[in-house]
Amino acid sequence: MGIQYVMKALIVWLLTLLILLCRTSHGQSVSGVINTYYQVTAVNTPSNTLTVSNASGLSVGQRVLIYQAKGTIYNTSNTATFGDITTFNAAGAYEFNTICTINGNNVQLRDQFVNSYSVGGQVQLVTMPSYSSVTISGAVTAGSWDPTAGTGGIVALEASGTITLSADIDVSGQGFQGGPLVNWPSPTYDCSFFDSYTAYYYPFQTSGNFTGGKKGEGVGAYTTGEEYGRGKLVNGGGGGNNTNTGGGGGGNYGAGGAGGQRAGVTGFNCQGLNPGIGGLSLSTYGYSTGSNRIFFGGGGGEGHENNGVGTPGGNGGGIIILSAPTISGLGGRLLADGAIGANTACLDSTQAEGDGGGGGGAGGAILLNASSITGAISAEARGGKGSNSSNRVPDCLGPGGGGGGGAIWAAGASFPGTVTATVTGGANGIVSLGNTKLSCQGAASGATAGAAGAAKSGYAAPSSAGTTCTVLALSDLKYFKADPSGVDVVLSWELSSPDMSATIRDFVVQRSTDAARFTTIVSLPGGMDSSLYGYTDAAPNMEGALYYRLAWQHNDGSWSYSRIVAVSMGPGPATFSFRLQPNPALQHMTLTVFSTEDGNASVAIASAQGQMIQSFRTTLHKGANTIPVDLRILAPATYFLIVEEGGRRMVKPFIKKGE
């Protein structure tokens, strides 16, 4: 009986270990649309707050991405320079953050803004699911890009362990939109052999023959009255001019190709000599650690249409962001290709008939923020093909230009050898082989392919200067403690009830030396039949203050965070004290107060002559308390910061730097 008992116990132990190993290795499986998108209507930098149109569904502790799609100022003269960049502004700016508090539709973020955003450039807040480990088990895609609200088009997720690609993540055609179909039929818009349609922009009009296809969407907003015609819209392809010329391809890292002319005109048939111009390359404005901007693929321009059988511009590719220590390929692909325009009124929806062909959309962007990439991964950010023209008609009408290639950007000194990156530009369209005039078949008529994009290394995520608030624990947690024990630190926590444990998938313990940048030191499974948990951080071998916080992931994928607790390891703040960082400071400074008990404190700033300049009250919790201090009203000089709590008073000097 003794041996049988031991064998049974061993089997139970092995099964338990196997379950834990499987859970650690594979984590959660996901598919479908995993992000939610919120339109940002205001940005308040001093309070580190965003206002969204509707905060329903957001929660404290949630990880988020902030992204601005547009905002570039461009040349609007009726010349070949239309669409050239004059001021780039914050188009393509982005960063990652954590929600600290929510008040109505105002969302305060934990980390100081890295970038200055302008809501006129279409800023969105994207929820970013965070996992211990996660497997893409079914196709994942983004919510459709909404050019009115400026939301969608992005798949972003992170893990503290491994992201395993067993199925595709596909945002092809989910970037900037191609120029939509606008028909300019006879007789209202009759063309004339004697008129030259040379303008770089046209307005929408209700009569007259000076028309053009609509420009593809890009990083600059449409200018009212200048939405149509051959001029590029920054990286959006230009629309083909009257009559029946092709649209230009959209651009991203690679420039878009030019659209094709109407050729073989005889007698007094209308001419079509001015097709859409390809969208600009944005390679010098992003995809580098200096600028750290990323872009949707530009939309292709519409082919000029007056018979209802042209093709629109193709949509550009969207954006994929994966962040984890390890990304593992297991058959799934990463796809951010530009698209070809389609019109279901045509016998072949991707080939124009008696009208011009649309330009292809540019490839999008893929970010691989991982120190290790294992297994074979196929990543594509190809430009879309330009549409063919003149299918089954005897005219030689203009085909579309190809879309430019996008960018695939990976962390590390060299691009990972396990990733096969395809960033080719899209082929230009041709006069269809289905054309009934043999002399036209296969002709490009001036249409060109899009330029190739790039596969780049050296990616680093945008880094905040520090925290502005502490994400408070929810009612799930009774306490979270960190106690020194020799050279170790013993961490312990208790849930509000044993039943709460069943709702928690994982615990993550994180450590920091500055209360701002935290590193995960261990992930532990939840779901135990207990409300008490613990972990020993063995011999961290550090002096001074160490900071710990606890994060826990619920079964629905959301996260909660404890308050930060501090422990002194040797020399450091073992009693009531505070620290100022940075010092000297320019505009903002972080005050970290180490308190031995809960209570209230007053904080004041005085000049070197003893004049009181500003003061405020704050609530302290036992342990480390991080408090942002705004210095912008102060002139460059030496000042004193004074903290008073429970009859104790501490004073430290600091320097406000000049610009």
pLDDT in tens, 568-582: 665 444 466 777 878
Integer-rounded Cα radius of gyration of the chain: 29
Planar angle of CA 141, 145, 151, nearest 5 degrees? 105
Residue 1, pLDDT > 60, answer: no
> Over the stretch 243-285, which tens digit does the pLDDT of each residue have?
999 999 999 999 999 999 999 888 888 999 999 999 999 999 9
End-to-end alpha-carbon separation of the chain, Å? Answer: 80
Nearest in space to 384 (alpha carbons), one of 350, 356, 415? 350
Mark which of 550, 569, 588 sits at the end of a domain. Answer: 569
- Triad 289, 292, 297: Cα angle to 5°: 130
Q: Are 656 and 636 in contact (CB under 8 A)?
A: yes
Other CB atoms within 10 Å distance of the CB of residue 245:
39
**Percent of the chain surpassing pLDDT 90:** 60
pLDDT for residue 124: 98
The domain containing residue 523 runs over which residues?
A: 477-569
Question: Among 569, 585, 600, which residue terminates a domain?
Answer: 569
The per-residue DSSP string of 102-164 comes to EETTEEEESBPPSS---GGG-EEEEE--EESSEEEEEEEEPPPPBTTTTB--EEEEEESSEEE
Same domain, 343 and 490: no
pLDDT for the residue 20: 35
Q: Does 522 share its domain with 589?
A: no
Give the 3-state secondary structure of residue 436. Answer: coil
Please report whether residue 431 resides in a domain. yes
CATH of the domain at 638: 2.60.40.2550
Q: Select the more confidently predicted residue: 570 or 33.
A: 33
For the chain, the maximum distance between any two Cα atoms, rounded to a whole number of angstroms, is 105
| Mean pLDDT for all residues in the chain | 88
- Contact between residue 474 and residue 560 where contact means Cβ atoms under 8 Å apart: yes
Helix (H/G/I), strand (E/B), else coil: 383? coil
Looking at per-residue pLDDT, the higher value among 14 and 131 belongs to 131
Residue 520 maps to which CATH number? 2.60.40.2060
54 is a domain residue: no
pLDDT at 130 over 60: yes
Same-domain check for residues 439 and 553: no
Answer whether residue 191 is part of any domain: yes
Q: In this structure, is residue 401 part of a structural domain?
A: yes
Same domain membership, residue 310 and residue 429: yes
Same domain, 141 and 284: yes
What is the distance between the alpha carbons of residues 298 and 362, in angstroms, rounded to a whole number?
5
Q: Are residues 247 and 357 part of one domain?
A: yes
Burial of 307: CB neighbours in 10 Å, binned 0-12, 13-18, 19+: middle
Residues 108 and 324: their CA atoms lie apart, in Å, by 25
Q: Are residues 268 and 172 part of one domain?
A: yes
Look at residue 12 and tell me if it is in a domain.
Answer: no
Rounded Cα gap, residues 111 and 631, in angstroms: 17
For the ranges 178-192, 256-270, 424-438, 540-554, the lowest mean pLDDT is seen at 540-554
User: Which residue in 595, 478, 569, 469 sits closest to 47, CA to CA?
Assistant: 469
Same-domain pairing of 230 and 340: yes
Residue 613 and residue 494 in one domain: no
Contact 300, 250 (CB under 8 A): yes
Q: Are residues 306 and 439 in the same domain?
A: yes
Residue 503 dihedral angles phi and psi, to the nearest 5°: -90, 0
48 occurs within a structural domain: no
Average pLDDT over residues 546-569: 78
Which amino acid would we find at residue 582?
P
Last residue of a domain, one of 415, 430, 460: 460
pLDDT tens digit string along 469-509? Answer: 766 656 678 888 888 877 788 898 888 888 888 888 889 99
Output DSSP code: residue 499.
G
Whether residue 581 sits in one domain with residue 536: no
| 96-117 pLDDT tens trace | 999 988 888 999 999 999 999 9
Which range (363-367, 533-537, 579-583, 640-644) has the least confidence?
579-583
Residue with tokens 């942002």: 628
Q: Which of 384, 381, 380, 413 is nearest to 401 (CA)?
A: 384
Average pLDDT over residues 211-233: 98
Query: Which has the closest alpha carbon to 321: 383, 254, 370?
Result: 370
Q: Are residues 602 and 543 in the same domain?
A: no
27 in any annotated domain: no
Confirm whether 25 is domain-assigned: no
> Could you identify the residue written with the tokens 């000076």?
210
Count of domains in the chain? 3
